[in-house]
Amino acid sequence: MPGAAGFIEAGKLKGLATTGTERSRFMPSLPTLVEKNYDVISEKNYVVFAPPGIPENVAGAISKAFEKMSQDKRIEKDLAAQTVIPMFLPHAEIAKKLAKIEARYQRVAKVAGLTKK
């Protein structure tokens, strides 16, 4: 959406739908593709990973820093200019989200004939 938002707002492009799981707060009048009966979801997620065996106290400190950053109004404003919404998910929740994304792409690959038989 970042590249298209300005063109849509200027009336140079017509937005048809968004690809997220819910409507964008930046363009709430645009339905999602799922609302239009297309089984298509595509979201951009930025995730911070650490090597296996990282001490729990270090992982916790990094996690808390990112959580605090995701709630910083200055960062939220800067990201909003790029139509990005900061969101923090604890390790267990992001693991579940990534598993769902992986399962979705595995289904796509299978339908497209991209998996080994």
β-partners of residue 18 are 32
**Cα distances (Å, whole numbers) of residue 89 to 43, 60, 80:** 15, 13, 19
The mean pLDDT values, 10 residues at a time, for the chain of 117 residues are 78 90 89 92 87 94 94 93 87 91 89 85
Question: Does the model's pTM come out above 0.85?
Answer: no
Residue 74 is predicted with a pLDDT of: 96
